[in-house]
Amino acid sequence: MAGVALITLGFRHSPATKTGAARAPNSDTRQLATEAAVRTAAVTWVTGQVGRDIIIACDPVICSDLAQHGFPASNLNTLQPTAPDPYGSELVIATAGVRSQFGSKLADVYAPQVIASFGAGADKIDVRLIAPRGPAAFDAALRADLQASKSSGAQLLRNTKIQTSATARVQLAAGQVDSRLLTTIAFMAGQQPLDIVDFGSIAPGASPSVPLRFADLADFDQAAHLPGPAYQHALVTLAREAEPPYLPLYVGLVRLATGQTVVRIEFAAPSPAGLSS
């Protein structure tokens, strides 16, 4: 009887086998849910932020998801296991499988710049800009664009029809602003006075060198001598008059976290190289 009691107590206090069996499905379920959430975040960002004329290299699952969410299937380059590199595309969606396929060359040679990133560890998905002529030429183009953007930003700062916040002044002087925005703002300032609140990007986890793709403009400017709604309409109309590559992805009113309403002009990713110069 004593032996039976000890055996019974032993089972009550040593549930490792049963618990381990019960935990495995829960752990697998959580892992699958995490992978799906990261993939959904990446696909949502690409379909909402990337230009429809951009060619994207991706694994079969991501390419299928993008097509189902409305991205043009003709611009999706499904990477086969035998593909030696992602060249021929402008962006590559770096899932775990794609990173394994191309190894260290993916970041060091083929696609050195991350324009958005989602998740962490093995589940991480990066959206990378491909360097078609190699990393050295890519870095040289980045440096040239940075200098050209600094020069254009300095010209805007001297424009008497453009008012800027302290944040916007720093961003312009540092050459952080997308060249399409710089050109668009210069054109608009020739028609209406502008008050730049800030610049920014919807690009989580992006490399520091990635340009800022949207501008927030104050929705009222006394120097325009127009009532608020008429001034807002004038800004939106001016921004929409442009032709590619200066046609914005989005133009409209946005309420900031501060409560201020602004006219946002946003361009699609990725920022094109060479326009400033």
Distance CA 49, CA 70 (A): 12
Say yes or no to pLDDT of 19 above 50.
Answer: no
Helix residue spans in the chain (DSSP H) = 2-13, 16-49, 60-68, 96-102, 105, 135-158, 166-173, 179-189, 228-240
Mean pLDDT within 123-144:
97
Distance CA 128, CA 46 (A): 11
Contact 172, 164 (CB under 8 A): yes
Provide the pLDDT for residue 277: 59
Please state whether beta strands 162-164 and 125-129 pair in parallel, antiparallel, or not at all (unpaired). unpaired
Q: How far apart are the first and last CA of the chain?
A: 91
Provide the pLDDT for residue 275: 77
Mean pLDDT within 148-176:
98
Distance CA 182, CA 184 (A): 6
Say yes or no to pLDDT of 99 above 50.
Answer: yes
Provide the pLDDT for residue 31: 85
Provide the pLDDT for residue 102: 98
Say yes or no to pLDDT of 215 above 70.
Answer: yes
Mean pLDDT of the chain: 91
User: Domain-by-domain residue ranges, the chain?
Assistant: 23-129, 135-266
Confidence of residue 25 (pLDDT cuts 50, 70, 90): low
Give 14 or 72, the one with higher predicted confidence.
72
Q: Is the pTM of this model over 0.75?
A: yes
